[in-house]
Amino acid sequence: MPVCEVCGNNYERAFTVFMEGREHTFDAFECAIHALAPRCASCGCPVVGHGVQHAERIYCCAQCARRAGVDGLVDHN
């Protein structure tokens, strides 16, 4: 059985994600998010939705971007 790279669980229904030329195996979306989602440059939470971006930095929301000193970004609708 495939083994999740995050939690080590052997699970018959594990799935594989290909990202940036690498193969990853997970047993749950929770583990995939933990391993692959970008982190907000302000609060550190995983950015699962659209988020907002300024230069190379990703933020979970416009409020976090403002807290980091970035003005003019708005949340996606």
77 pLDDT more than 80? no
Neighbours of 56 (CB within 10 A): 6
pLDDT at 66: 96
The average pLDDT across 52-56 equals 95
* Predicted TM-score (pTM) of this structure: 0.82
Q: 25 and 3 in contact (C-beta within 8 Å)?
A: yes
Q: How far apart are the first and last CA of the chain?
A: 41
Q: 24 and 41 in contact (C-beta within 8 Å)?
A: no
Q: 66 and 56 in contact (C-beta within 8 Å)?
A: no
- Pure H helices in the chain: 29-36, 62-67
pLDDT at 7: 97
Using one digit for the tens of pLDDT, what is the confidence trace for 3-48? 999 999 999 999 999 999 999 999 999 999 999 999 999 999 999 9
pLDDT at 6: 98
